Amino acid sequence: AQSVSQHNHHVILSEAASLELGCNYSYGGTVNLFWYVQYPGQHLQLLLKYFSGDPLVKGIKGFEAEFIKSKFSFNLRKPSVQWSDTAEYFCAVIPYNQGGKLIFGQGTELSVKP
Amino acid sequence: DVKVTQSSRYLVKRTGEKVFLECVQDMDHENMFWYRQDPGLGLRLIYFSYDVKMKEKGDIPEGYSVSREKKERFSLILESASTNQTSMYLCASSLGQGRGASGETQYFGPGTRLLVL
């Protein structure tokens, strides 16, 4: 079965530290890739997405992600986190031509200490 | 801005009750989705709909049904609530270009936290 795996369940960082959240998926065909973020008490919202082209994708609030097809990975990065980045982050995949169904990872809770 | 609203933020029900969760989107989107969110499990798809009166099962449809009588509204129904259905329920919508539209952003509602006693 298709699945998405996020390596870390809970990450704790100090402000200004660099962030990398891992995401791997198991699907051999073409996929579209997403990172969503859920700030405390807020809606789940799109952080960035990859469909095709440059595998390094830039999103909102200084986040970026790199698609490495050979590793089935789509890791999220930010060079310097802020306290306001405290949130839960979800990686998600839509396999091509499967009805637009998002397959989510388990989520990674990020806590940034001021 | 796309707006997806859900009828309740918090709901407390008793085992065996019939529960209705309502979702409305205001952007004329074709596709609508219901997920449940549980700690450590991420979001899991319950049902989705890509047109009025059309529905498809997601990964965990057991114990749930849905209704889509109008394009903007997608209802999730728990026929007989059980304690293992205590969860956060999220509704989402996307523009939709027929079934198979794989590149679309989904827009989420605020969620309904359901407690079944």
In a domain? residue B31? yes
Mean pLDDT of A32-57: 92
Pairing mode, strands B4-6 and A108-113: unpaired
3-state secondary structure chain A: CCEEEECCCEEEEECCCCEEECEEEECCCCEEEEEEEECCCCCEEEEEEECCCCCEEECHHHCEEEEEHHHCEEEEEECCCCHHHCEEEEEEEEECCCCCCCEECCCEEEEEEC
Using CA atoms, how far apart are residues A100 and A80, in angstroms rounded to an integer? 33
Q: Share the mean pLDDT of chain B.
A: 91
pLDDT in tens, A26-36: 988 888 899 99
In a domain? residue B90? yes
Domain total for chain B? 1
Query: Does the beta carbon of A9 lie under 8 angstroms from any beta carbon of chain B?
Result: yes
In a domain? residue B8? yes
Query: Does the beta carbon of B109 lie under 8 angstroms from any beta carbon of chain A?
Result: yes
pLDDT in tens, B44-54: 999 999 889 88
The reported pLDDT for the residue numbered A96 is 77
Size of interface A-B (CB pairs under 8 A): 67
The reported pLDDT for the residue numbered A27 is 85
The reported pLDDT for the residue numbered B2 is 66
- Topology adopted by domain A3-113: Immunoglobulin-like (2.60.40)
Query: Does the beta carbon of B45 lie under 8 angstroms from any beta carbon of chain A?
Result: yes
The reported pLDDT for the residue numbered B102 is 56
List all residues of chain B from 4 to 43 with a beta carbon under 8 Å from chain A.
4, 31, 33, 35, 40-43
Range of the structural domain that residue B70 is part of:
4-97+107-116
Mean pLDDT of A12-18: 97
Coil/strand/helix, residue A61: helix
Which CATH number is B92's domain given?
2.60.40.10
The reported pLDDT for the residue numbered B98 is 54
